[in-house]
Structure 1
Amino acid sequence: MRVSRPLFLALAVAACARDSAPPPRVADSTGSSGSPVVSVTPVTRVHGMNESVSWQLSPDRSAILVVADPAGAEGDPFPNGFFFGSETRGYQVQMDSVWDVAPSPDWKWIGFGRAWDTHKGESGEINLVGDVARRTRIDSATIVASSFPSSGMVNSRAMAQAGVIHVPEDPRAAGAADSAAPRLFPIARGWRVRWTTGGALLALGNSPARATDSEGSETWTSLDPKTGAFHGTLPTSSKLAENRFIAGPFLEPAPMTERSATALPVDMQKAPPITIQRGEKKFTVQSERGVITIVEPGTAGASPRVVGAGVALAATAGGRYIVALSPAVQKGDGRFPIEAVVYTVAW
């Protein structure tokens, strides 16, 4: 995924092979009165040799989409993970194994390209086409024709599959869970995804010409997310909406002798404050001494509301979703000592 408006923080962290992080967990806010109930969700549960983190907020800052974009050795393609949360709709979702993701212009839909391995091994000897065909409802010939090299060093191949999520108006309404579940289409496209400016169509980019994680798409097809109608080209009158992500931390391998959080060339003890508002009151998300808190300005002596460990990077308008760098729960050789997470704050 390519990111605009670069604002990188270089983080030297330990390289990590594909692995799984723990499921969402409750943050430890013991010892502070008035602390909110906080759950923690890793942005991705699968890590590569390095990883960039980016996000974008809806125009009213009520919703946020966060992406962790790993890359393999030599910049090879590696599936991303994302987190989406909406304050006004009370809905959140995390998903791994996608090539790209984009919100619709009205933030009512999320389009993504699901990542599948079709051949693995040094010479591509592990053939997964049959399994992928059963799971995607795409015929084997189309899968083979649509696959692309996913490594510059070995003969592995992969494929993209178009998918969408319809953000529910009310997650508690009858049938909302079914309509909000990720919907995959039997369409082998989606290395890059965009929306048309009117939001009626999801544009699906062609497969990469090179085995490079940052490779773009040159041609586009279109999908109607409501009907599933697929067209081999975009309407001539259509224009693609910009996918305006803000580039944040870039995590890259540290030397073997520096595999510890103390070797990070970035201040994990503090970060600039972020202003949020609940009703008529304004608060500040503060990151001091490696702890994220919510403070109400002008209330001397009041105990801060503890969110969790780490430093805050961004937050939605009301502070329900706070993007942060946090010490990783699972540590050790070959693991990232920190990870990008989203704190979901109920208070």
Structure 2
Amino acid sequence: MTIEQSDHSTELTEHPDRFPNPGLPPHRPRLGDEDPKAAKRSERLVLLLFTVSVLASIAAIVGYFAIPVDPEAGSMGNTHLSTLIIGLGLGLGMLGIGTAAIHWAKSLMNDHDKVEERHEIAGDAQTRSTAIEMFNEGAKDTDIARRPLIKGALGGALALAPLPFLVPLIGNLGGDWDISRFKRTAWAPAANGDRVYLATDPTNRRIKASDVTIGSLFHVMPWNLPEHPDYLDEKAKAVVLLVRVDPQDLKETEERASWSYDGIVAYSKICTHVGCPVALYERETHHLLCPCHQSTFDVTDEAKVVFGPAGRALPQLPIDVDENGYLVAQRDFDEPVGPSFWERER
């Protein structure tokens, strides 16, 4: 735009219809374009990155078999180590392929600027033919035929990279598929009729109703659950959030009127969306929040969903007190905890 000043007045010229095409800047050759040794170093680096991917994928598979996780052991040691090795193998395997592909493209493939005039998008035969030609040109540009080592490393990396995902999945197909385990938790009364006490998690201290003040939140598990032979599996299903509100704020149906005690309510800590731990409590609104996808449940209204993707309320644990004032579970949850599964029954 040109501005012309005359006698303290300003006149604006009209905007041009088109601006001149500035063209492309001069091409700056890379070191590898002029120095064959530099190109060879880049080729060796790409080969090394693909090799790292192959070795990482193999390490993940070996780690899965060499460090088995024993669910009966009740220890997280092997679980942590196995998860660490598999995770590192997966991460390095994918990272090796990605960084090798990027370095290959930036240092060995054609880097000349190309211009394609803008046109209307159309799917006619000529366009498809042009796309195929461009694809073939790109494949030719990789010059993979003259680099058999890179071609072999790429094939090996791509072939092995999915295995750390698939091997654990296939290896677990022969596991325990007894889904009835999802329909009961450690809150169910013992065979001898002993009551199950509510205890703090993880200190395993029994809780009295007098310990729970209005607005407080307790993370709860069945008392003496750490002594259970399947401690980790059972705890994953039985964790509970215990909250006390003003009894007048509770909106209880007649069926659930006896499930709480003086404003104290207990709900499953496992979100009904995808099973994340619901662990955030907003005292003013009486809302429980799942940090994973922000599903929000109303403690005063039978933990019904008020926001987010969860499709069901949190299962409620019916509670009572014994003669000494300790909180106990009346019975198990009224429905399976956690997200939906294929044979879920309410």
TM-score by length of 1: 0.18
Q: Which of the two has greater strand per residue?
A: 1
Kindly indicate whether structure 1 or structure 2 has the higher relative contact order, using CA contacts under 8 Å at least 6 residues apart. 1
Bigger Rg over Cα: 2
TM-score by length of 2: 0.18
